[in-house]
Amino acid sequence: MSGADLPLSPEDVAGIVAILDGSAYDRIEIRTARFTLKVAREAGGWTQEWATAADPAPVAAPEKQGESAESEGESVGEGFAVRAPLPGTFYRAPQPGAPPFVEIGDTVAPDSVVGIVETMKLMNPVYAGAHGTLAAILIDNAAPVEADAILMRVAPAA
Amino acid sequence: MIRRLFIANRGEIALRIIRTARRLGMTAILGASEADRDGLPARAADEVAIVGPAPSAESYLSAGRLVAAAVAARADAVHPGYGFLSEKADFARAVRAAGMIFVGPDAESLDAMGDKLMARHVAVAAGLAVIPGGEAADRQAAGARAAETGYPLLLKAVAGGGGRGMKRVDDPAALDAAVDLAMAEARAAFGDPRLYVERFVARGRHVEVQILGDGTRAIHLGTRDCSIQRRFQKLVEEAPAPGLPVAAHEALCAAAVRLARHIGYGGAGTVEFLVDAESFDFWFLEMNARIQVEHPVTEAVTGVDLIEQQLLIADGQPLGLRQDQVAITGHAIEVRINAEDWARDFRPSPGRVRRAAWPAGPGIRVDSHVAAGSLVTPHYDSLIGKLIVSAADRAGAVARLAAALDVLDVDGVATTVGLHRAIARDPRFMAGGADTRFFEGMAHG
């Protein structure tokens, strides 16, 4: 591929801004085989926006249904659903080789840690969210999960 | 001469390395995971080799897969970037055993600096001061160590981390009780009660020195200050370290060069120090034997392309710069923009970026792999870009930073931009020379 496809350097972008700044123009769009760069004048300064040329229009992020990510569990038909607080990788134990936080039949309280979801190298605890007995484990250890995915079910205490 | 460079990394640093490699006429081959096959670095590379699936353990942390992919791509050199395998001596050995150049120091330097206790011994042998302290197995030993370190002191678990077993002791009368408690915590948390007794520096600054060595000669490229941290994660970095007396600046740089020469260091490296914010006494902390995230602030004030220097040194060329050719001009500040919701305890915020309008203009550099439509995945760290500003002096750089942050608009994921806007206008930051307690002193919410 030709060198012309490399994104412009920070110095190039600064040079483009210097030229525009002394002109009446408010924006410029530059297109190569692989990239587009838009430089635009904003109220307080200049911005640069990059896109890959072959991309369709930016994809809108899927709308979250309410603030369900907030509640880590909720009541559903067959007991209480324990959900992933974030997207990431689900682990049943604190470390490889360590015993799992919980097994089916264990008694749990709302603040019992029943697993962790690793997101961006951070370990996020998953709480049971209800008093009861662990009734089902629906996701395998070390499996990827989406936010709000149902990980486990808790049979509520009578 | 390196002709085909394999980049064993991702994100903004991959794009950064590609830029310099292409400028030097090398063919840039990106070793990418499945999750990164269509990102900005992949588009900028000459060639892309898929090294494995998204999880790091099967891609960017798999030495076997990376080496195999580099060999298959007929690479003659491998640049490890930062993080991942960049400081793993075994990876360096595997790359060399496969007949390729490892862009970094030799495996012996990586071994020496990879182990904290060994690094401390090497630094002492090179004549550097280390924080007074040492191991203690019981009350009596802790008392003997305390006599050496003085008060206040810190008790840490030898086996530990994460603050467990860590106690600050201000008064000799409180030592025995604190030792008992710390040992109990250390035993409970790590199964090992041994403690490490260390001088506590109440107002410490994190100052580091960029060095370059070719195995024979070594030079420094001045200081960086990275005192503004949260939970030992750097948030803001600047060059040069503000408000250091000339004598302290020179002593820090000289100490770093002495260590590099002592171990015959070949490559770019960073020697980190804890500096007393009042007395400017300093102690060696560790050496990072790789390029750092914050290297652009040094590039901004020296005009030296550090990736280029790494590649030239790895190629076996003698250092092309003399110390008297390196001048520090002006001031530069970098802020790390992370996909984290800083108002909600820095909760990670992966997702699809709808808009990414980064600042632009004179004295502004943005190193980012994220554009509109990019997917910030949960598989890797949360860094989505670095904003680097520079100006003739620190006040100019701070003003430029505040203005640049005001136009920065990333939409679709939560970011730390708001936090940085608050820091840029914090009087303690504007004054310069803040210590490592800066973040806990910020008014939250």
Q: Domain boundary at B199, B214, B242, which?
A: B199
pLDDT in tens, B259-276: 999 999 999 999 999 999
Q: What percent of chain A has pLDDT over 70?
A: 80
Whether residue B269 sits in one domain with residue B166: no
| Per-residue pLDDT at B231 | 76
User: Which structural domain range is residue B255 located in?
Assistant: 204-443
Assign residue B401 the CATH number of its domain: 3.30.470.20
Whether residue B59 sits in one domain with residue B44: yes
Whether residue B342 sits in one domain with residue B319: yes
Whether residue B414 sits in one domain with residue B370: yes
Cβ(B359)–Cβ(A46) under 8 Å? yes
Amino acid at B439: F
Assign residue B24 the CATH number of its domain: 3.40.50.20
Give contacts of A31 with chain B, Cβ < 8 Å.
none
Closest Cα to residue A87, out of A140, A148, A143, A138? Answer: A148
Identify the band that residue A54 occupies on the pLDDT scale cut at 50, 70 and 90.
Answer: low
Side-chain half-sphere CA neighbours of B46 within 13 A: 22
Number of domains in chain B: 3
Q: Domain boundary at B149, B170, B199, which?
A: B199
| Residue bearing the bigger pLDDT, A6 or A132 | A132
On whether residue B50 sits in a domain, the answer given is yes
- Domains observed in chain A: 3-52 (no CATH), 80-156 (2.40.50.100)
On whether residue B109 sits in a domain, the answer given is no
Whether residue B323 sits in one domain with residue B389: yes
CA A143 to chain centre: 15
Which of the residues B15, B231, B379, B400 would you substitute to probe the A interface, choosing the one with the greatest number of A C-beta atoms within 10 Å?
B379
Whether residue B99 sits in one domain with residue B162: no
Give me the residue label for tokens 């969210």. Answer: A129
pLDDT in tens, B89-111: 999 999 999 999 999 999 999 99
Q: Which of A42-56, A85-99, B245-259 has the highest mean pLDDT?
A: B245-259
Whether residue B186 sits in one domain with residue B323: no
Whether residue B212 sits in one domain with residue B186: no
Q: Which helix (H) or strand (E) holds B260?
A: helix B246-262
| Residue bearing the bigger pLDDT, A98 or B408 | B408
| Per-residue pLDDT at A59 | 43
| Per-residue pLDDT at B299 | 98
**CA of A157 vs chain B CAs: smallest distance (Å):** 31
Q: Check whether B162 has a pLDDT greater than 60.
A: no
Residue B290 designated active-site: yes
Cβ contact B371–A52 (<8 Å)? yes
Whether residue B173 sits in one domain with residue B50: no
| Residue bearing the bigger pLDDT, A66 or B83 | B83
ipTM of the complex: 0.78
| Per-residue pLDDT at A71 | 42
Whether residue B217 sits in one domain with residue B192: no
Cβ contact B348–A86 (<8 Å)? yes
Assign residue B156 the CATH number of its domain: 3.30.1490.20
On whether residue B116 sits in a domain, the answer given is no
Whether residue B186 sits in one domain with residue B211: no
Whether residue B287 sits in one domain with residue B352: yes
Distances (CA, A) of B138 to B159, B175, B410: 15, 11, 53
